[in-house]
Amino acid sequence: MTPQRTLRIALLGAGSVGSQVARLLLEHGEELSERSGARLELAGILVRDPDAPRDTELPRELLTTDAEALILGADIVIELMGGIEPARSHVLAAIRSGADVVTGNKALLATHGAEIFEAADQVGASVSYEAAVAAAIPIIRPLRDSLAGDRIVRIFGIVNGSTNFILDSMDRDGLSAQEAQRIATELGYLEADPTLDLEGYDAAQKAAILASLAFHTQVSFEDVHREGIESVTADMIADARRAGYVIKLLAICERLSDPEGGVSVRVYPALIDREHPLATVHGGNNAVFVEAEAAGPLMFYGAGAGGVQTASAVLGDVVSAARRHLAGGVGVGESARQSLSLAPIGRITTRYQITLEVEDLPGVLATVAGILSEEGVSVATALQTVEGEDSATARIVIGTHRASEQALSDTVARLAESSVVQRVVSVLRVEGE
């Protein structure tokens, strides 16, 4: 059947993702129209400077700097500008005008998601954001729709391709952190300012979105415990390899089973057994495990970055929005009504691997073990090596049994103050067991 109705699409942003979305809409418009049931017309593309050079050539007549006029004339608004403002204002204006919104803006949703979803509920608009987490991997829609009737216990995985590329290059190729970051920048994995990726901000924003969906509770970026990979060194990677582990930056969202209950949402570098499926996630790929009570464990794997890959997720949302627009009725609102409590990091239980430089003297290991015992932390493994024949320094690698984060943190603080410990070399959590 030939689609009879035309839906006007406004595209805000023409960066690496936006330009690919525009290209695919123009090149595959007829096919996308057949899938959605309406003719999809790209009405215009909002840019800062129509004359700026771009990697993808776009029709000059579609480029505009007039956001208000473009949004008011649209049925579907695609926001791919990034950042908070003016993206927030444009998205709210689109919702008030009655348009459906498709966005890939994780920072906006992790910070102002509640405001945006409430505005959409008031007018019956839909907000779709599959591209906000893990690029081409379909993870939002399964959590939002397919698993809505299940009870999700845990989400656990790699959601930042840039840091995964860096850590993987250090592990497999023996590169230093600086060299791996340089290559990542050259290949486009890292921006000129790499803080968003290296310090865990990007992964924490995605974790907030995933947790909000999984636990039907509003979780903002500020609620996420965040640690980045800035402190991970080549020596730490080598130590992990010798112990049978690989280091990955993980996002973890889980229901706590202790009497207080609630949920924990956190991002940090952790040790994963080399036999674990996440250990085999190489390059810029992402992988997310979802553990649900009825469905059991599910794994989602694929490209976690890239303009055309992310554009795939955006266009999937566009087709869905077009179908909803034709069918009529109100958009499907977010379910964030459980209001589960958000637990501080100190309440989680985990395992640590602690590497210490100590004086090479009799009784040092017993002193260290005594400190752990006094803090209620049990030693699972201990390996001591001497730096050299004439060295007065030894290295101890201690693996603990599971304990509360607070007890483990207090233990490390006491070890750092001990007279027999010269330096706490590294502290890493062990996950995935």
Which residues carry out catalysis?
A: 206
Report helix, strand and coil shares of the chain as percent, to nearest 5: 40, 25, 35
β-pairing, 393-400 with 349-359?
A: antiparallel
| List of E strands, 91-196 | 100-103, 127-128, 152-158
d(CA 228, CA 27): 40
Angle between helices 106-123 and 87-96 (to 10 degrees): 20
DSSP 67: H
d(CA 295, CA 331): 27
d(CA 360, CA 79): 60
Tally helices (H) and strands (E) across the chain.
Answer: 14, 17
Report the C-alpha dihedral over residues 309, 312, 314, 315, rounded to 10 degrees.
Answer: 160
User: For tokens 């070890």, what's the residue?
Assistant: 415
301: its two tokens: 């794997």
112: its two tokens: 């102002």
d(CA 338, CA 331): 20
Contacts of 155 (CB under 8 A, 6+ apart): 210, 211, 214, 251, 252, 253, 254, 288, 289, 290, 291
Identify the CA nearest to 368 among candidates 297, 303, 422, 328: 422
Per the CB < 8 A criterion, the answer to whether 133 and 313 are in contact is: no
Q: What is the DSSP string of 324-336?
A: HHHH-SPPPPP--
At 106, the amino acid letter reads K
User: For tokens 């509360």, what's the residue?
Assistant: 404
DSSP 145: I
